[in-house]
Structure 1
Amino acid sequence: MSESKKKKTYHFQEEWEEEFFFTTVRDKSVCLICGAAVALAKRHNVERHFSTLHRTFNASYPPGSTLRAEKVRELKAALGKQQFFFTKPVKQSVATTEASFRAAQYLAVNKKAFSDGEVVKGVMSVVADTLFKDHKNGKEIIAAISDVQLSANTIARRVSAMSTDLTQQLNRELGTCKWFSIQCDESVDNSSTAQLMVFVRMVFSDFTTKEEMLTLLPLKTTTKAVDIYEAMKRYFTEKNIPLEKLVSVTTDGAPAMTGRHSGFIARCRRDPDFPRFLNYHCIIHQQAICAKVMGFDHVMTPVVKIVNSIRSKATQHRSFKLLLEELSAEYGDLLLHTEIRWLSRGRVLQRFLSLLGEIKEFMDSRGQDTALLQDAEWKLDLAFLTDITGKLNHLNCELQGKDKNVTDMISAVSAFRAKLNIFSVHLQINSKRYCSCIWGLGQGCRKVHPAHI
């Protein structure tokens, strides 16, 4: 017997359906009459089963007749319904679990509390009961929604499972990528715990790139260079990250990071496990350092002092907000300045300048000195600083975000440097196009808006 014929006898043949009332289900031959299964689909096995148990069917349904073919279709339909009866609960359970995971992801992405899952479920039930109460499958839809598990503990488990899966995917990608670079930034959260945030950008063999947040490492004691180095080295060792693929490290300019002898970069270079790599100073941190030597402390210091004095006492703060409401001011409150936020300075100044008239009126009502707020030269400096910080914030936004490569950032910085010459020209000719805050002083500060380039 040839190989092709031998192989053919071990596979189910379609003509057996009508000849022996057999069909195939999951690589098994199943009798349509009694439901018996034959593992090896050999013709003599199928034929023996039919002739032994169901030979009388030949009399009722003659071979080759239309009646026999109709009976086969009827039995196949009945078998399909029976299988659906058992598989439907499984499919519904899978769909319910998937819905729970999707809801957990949505809550996590939108930074909502895990306990909001029950609120979401309640809202969906109310909406479904309203929209589908007269629908023919309305009860099934409402029942399916009620089966979705969205309790706080369930959402926490879902988020933890997704986090673990994403971490495993990232570790696999670090193993398969061609090269990768990291960016480190150390800061302190609202619980006074120092955190080291590490981002990674990977390059694969097909020249595609991917960037993700790699980890967030707590620094529980000091934040010296040795602490940062040991935390990073421990993490790379525990996760088996291939250090030989590291090509560059980006940090801020703090001595703990860039110290020549004992900084984080210097320690990494002395470690034989680290390859030769390039190190860069983050451009945003460079910009923040440059801003500190602009010589505008005579503007920023009084602004922060006035804002803090208004917002420091609850009674005074409420009175100020009430005044803004009565005067139909453009904004309802002042913003606090935060040194650690890179957008804070520009937004605080813009809000302060917009509410300058209301602030002066509020301070006058309390008998406070407002001579500085009436000084024309100081207000001009305030408007100029508001304009320039607004433009710096716009530049920072262009430099932030995912999928930004070096050409995009160089283009943004080069364009900003070219625009500085245009800003200077427009200042000299008193144009309002790029200096709206300065120009707005002549129109009253209540309607001033930041410049849009």
Structure 2
Amino acid sequence: MFSGPIEQSKAATEASFQVSYRIAQKCKPFSDGEYIKEIFEEVSDSLFVNFKNKNEIKKAVHGLQLLRITVMRHIEIISKNLNEQLKRGIALCVAFLLQFDESTDVTDTAQLLVFILMVFEDFSTKEELLGMISLKGKTRGLDIFTEFKAYISQIKLCIYKLVSMTTDGAPAMTGIHNGFIALCHKDEDFPDFISYHCIIHQQVLASKRLNTKHVMDISFKIVNSIKGKSLQRRLFKQQLDEKEPELAMH
């Protein structure tokens, strides 16, 4: 007798969580949930005009809970759930890798982003953002190490599963004596791990080593010749339209 309403209530709750997740993903205001519901209610008359269960669909749309406070609560629940999933993943994985990216926000505060790549027994992997550490003072290797050590102690990270770290080539990270990586190697709490440059820096180093100047000089001349004059651009685009229509669109 009550199975129908209960299932409908579950479906409405699930849909509300999905909308809330998309709002958070796109960094939109929480109040946009009500706006989305209003639009959905307005278009439902035209969209479902030939559906026999049109009234049931409109009723289901009307039942969506997308008030600002509700969206905020849903996002908080999603955030806690994702955090719990991350903790379970770290506990179950056999090893993990860490990657660091430092940047400065609009308030001139240095933010250290820590990404984790977990490897499980079946050789599957999962990459997540482990956390963000604010460096409000100096950003020396010792400062980064101190903040990171306090952070992993706070979240109780199983540091013995660490197998590698990837950083940029900044002296604060890669310094031989006082760099972040060097300090981690000296600390007894850290296992023996491998350190890498990030892929972008590896590509830059490789390009300098390979010496592709003779190739790049010709490429630059061709591009500048095409882009330098409007007539050249039109003729080039026309040629692409005739031979490779899909390529011309890109």
TM-score range, shorter chain: 0.7 to 0.9
Q: Is the 8 A contact 1:423 1:435 kept in 2?
A: no
Name the CA distance, whole Å, in 2 between partners of 1:227 and 1:157: 35
Q: Is the 8 A contact 2:225 2:232 kept in 1?
A: no
Q: Which structure is richer in relative contact order (CA contacts within 8 A, separation 6 or more)?
A: 2
- Given candidates 59, 62, 67, the residue that maps to 1:146 is 62
Q: Is the 8 A contact 2:227 2:233 kept in 1?
A: no
Amino acid at match of 1:439: S
The alpha-carbon deviation at position 169 of structure 1 amounts to 0.9
Name the CA distance, whole Å, in 1 between partners of 2:74 and 2:119: 30
1:210 is aligned to 126
Name the CA distance, whole Å, in 2 between partners of 1:230 and 1:252: 18
- Structure 1 unmatched runs, 5+: 1-83, 291-412
- Is it true that 1:259 corresponds to 2:45 in the alignment? no
- Structure 2 unmatched runs, 5+: 237-246
The alpha-carbon deviation at position 257 of structure 1 amounts to 1.2
Write the deviation string for residues 32-73 of structure 1: whole angstroms up to 9, x where unpaired.
xxxxxxxxxxxxxxxxxxxxxxxxxxxxxxxxxxxxxxxxxx
Name the CA distance, whole Å, in 2 between partners of 1:94 and 1:210: 29
Q: Is the 8 A contact 1:176 1:204 kept in 2?
A: yes
2:215 is aligned to 423
The alpha-carbon deviation at position 445 of structure 1 amounts to 8.1
Q: Is the 8 A contact 1:202 1:210 kept in 2?
A: yes
- Is it true that 1:183 corresponds to 2:102 in the alignment? no
- Is it true that 1:122 corresponds to 2:38 in the alignment? yes
Name the CA distance, whole Å, in 2 between partners of 1:113 and 1:446: 46
Write the deviation string for residues 191-234 of structure 1: whole angstroms up to 9, x where unpaired.
32221101111111112222122111222233222332122222
Matched residues, number: 235
- Given candidates 158, 161, 167, the residue that maps to 2:77 is 161
Q: Percent identity?
A: 43
The alpha-carbon deviation at position 444 of structure 1 amounts to 4.6
Name the CA distance, whole Å, in 2 between partners of 1:168 and 1:277: 26
Amino acid at match of 1:102: Q
- Given candidates 433, 438, 445, the residue that maps to 2:224 is 438
The alpha-carbon deviation at position 100 of structure 1 amounts to 0.5
Name the CA distance, whole Å, in 1 between partners of 2:181 and 2:37: 50
Name the CA distance, whole Å, in 2 between partners of 1:184 and 1:171: 19
Structure whose CA Rg is larger = 1
Q: Secondary structure at the match of 2:182?
A: helix
1:272 is aligned to 188
Q: Is the 8 A contact 2:99 2:165 kept in 1?
A: yes
Return the structure number with greater strand share: 2
CA-based RMSD: 3.0
The alpha-carbon deviation at position 89 of structure 1 amounts to 2.3
- Given candidates 248, 269, 278, the residue that maps to 2:164 is 248
